[in-house]
Amino acid sequence: MPALFEYDENREAASAAKVRALEALLIKKGVLGSDAVDAVLRHFETVAGPFNGARIVARAWLDSDYKRRLLDDTPKAIAELHFPGMDGAEGEHMKAVANSESVHNLVICTQCSCYPWPVLGLPPYWYKDPVFRARGVREPRAVLREFGVPISAKKEVKVWDSSAQIRWFVIPERPAHSEHLTEAQLAALVTPEAMMGVALVPAPTAA
Amino acid sequence: MFTRFEEYAATQMLGQPDSPPRSEGKLLFREEWQRTVFGMALALSKEGHFEWEDFRQQLISAIATWENEACGGDITWDYYEHYTIALIAILEQCGMLDPGELERQMTPEDASK
């Protein structure tokens, strides 16, 4: 093995040992509960994250009445799904917009970095980038093209600026050849980027 | 306004030099120790042992130190290595950890690594 990698492995082991020792020491001192790490990370891993948004989108694809309720009163329709993480202030101001044959929606945030956490999880690195924020408003079609989402000139592009008052998210178009999929299988196709409008949901690969 | 500490804490870091690795809306941990150290800092601050902002400043400073020394031959970037340094520093700063205490806690086998 090249020396460089050998060094990295040692360094990795040293970091792991240090963290293990620190955790044991803090538990012994009584300042850290033995399940404190899991408890705090559970929030990111199971309570608030893109898995919630994906479930909402899959339900909307399967149930047109639900989709209508979601567009009419987003927080109320989300509450129907009984997510444990939706009781916070971040969840109360969400608004869904739907992509269609005639409209493509793009969500940005020009002022700060307002983001619907409970449904999309952590925003990507570029979300706070001032260049992305400025160009998203000025030339959304060019930005989308760079993301690999060319939008036909016939289709309208709507840009939604998230704020502390309203946090937008996109219901992407349901991909072709997905009629046979279950709600869970559909949810697995939905990415955070698709729910921001910078990606499309690809057709499922043949099983 | 955040009603949950976890979201407040992570949001403070986003777009800043101490922004954590992530992928597809989720935190990205390559190894279990990275998950542990990330969760420890959050849990301890949530319990009020130190201010999250004070920890962040330690982390930003650890990253800046690495950046300034990177020309010295150490080109390997590991976010969670700096995160560990910052957590130890804040614990020493608030008197929860004595200098050298962690080394004494480590087993001889660990310490030799």
Contacts of B33 in chain A (CB under 8 A): 15-16, 19-20
Q: What is the predicted pLDDT for the residue at B107?
A: 66
Residue A115 CA to residue A104 CA, distance in Å, equals: 19
Pairing outcome for strands B26-27 and A167-171: unpaired
CB atoms B105 and A25 under 8 Å: yes
Residue B58: pLDDT band (50, 70, 90) is very high
Task: Find the CB nearest A22 among B22, B35, B88.
Answer: B88
Q: Residue B79's domain is classified under what CATH number?
A: 1.10.472
Cβ-based neighbour number of residue A110 at 10 Å = 14
Q: What is the predicted pLDDT for the residue at A1?
A: 43
- A98 three-class SS: strand
Query: Is A92 within 8 Å of A116 (Cβ atoms)?
Result: no
Say which CATH class A49-196 falls into.
alpha beta
CB atoms B106 and A18 under 8 Å: yes
Q: What is the predicted pLDDT for the residue at A40?
A: 93
Active-site residue flag, A64: no
Who contacts A121 (Cβ-Cβ below 8 Å, separation ≥6)?
A: A44, A48, A49, A50, A51, A53, A192, B22, B24, B25, B26
Q: pTM value?
A: 0.83
Residue B49 CA to residue B41 CA, distance in Å, equals: 10
Range in A5-9, A19-23, A69-73 the model is least confident about: A5-9
Query: Is B7 within 8 Å of A48 (Cβ atoms)?
Result: yes
Interface test with A, best of B1, B35, B36 (most A CBs within 10 A): B36
Residue A151: pLDDT band (50, 70, 90) is very high
Active-site residue flag, A113: yes
Domain count, chain B: 1
Q: Where are the domains positioned within chain A?
A: 3-34, 49-196
Helix B32-46 / helix B52-69 crossing angle, nearest 10 deg: 140
Q: What is the predicted pLDDT for the residue at A2?
A: 47
- 13-42 in chain B: CB under 8 A from chain A: 14-15, 19-20, 22, 24-27, 31-33, 35-40, 42
Residue B62, domain extent: 5-111
Query: Would you say residue A122 has pLDDT above 70?
Result: yes
Query: Is B40 within 8 Å of A23 (Cβ atoms)?
Result: yes
What does the pLDDT look like over A65-118, one tens digit per residue? 999 999 999 999 999 998 876 655 455 688 999 999 999 999 998 776 678 888
- 54-73 in chain B: CB under 8 A from chain A: none
Average pLDDT, chain B: 85
Query: Is A149 within 8 Å of A77 (Cβ atoms)?
Result: no
What does the pLDDT look like over B3-12, one tens digit per residue? 688 888 888 8
CB atoms B106 and A128 under 8 Å: no
The better pLDDT of the pair A64, A165 is held by A64
Q: What is the DSSP letter of A69?
A: H
Amino acid present at B11: T
Structure tokens at A104: 């493509």
Query: Is B18 within 8 Å of B38 (Cβ atoms)?
Result: no
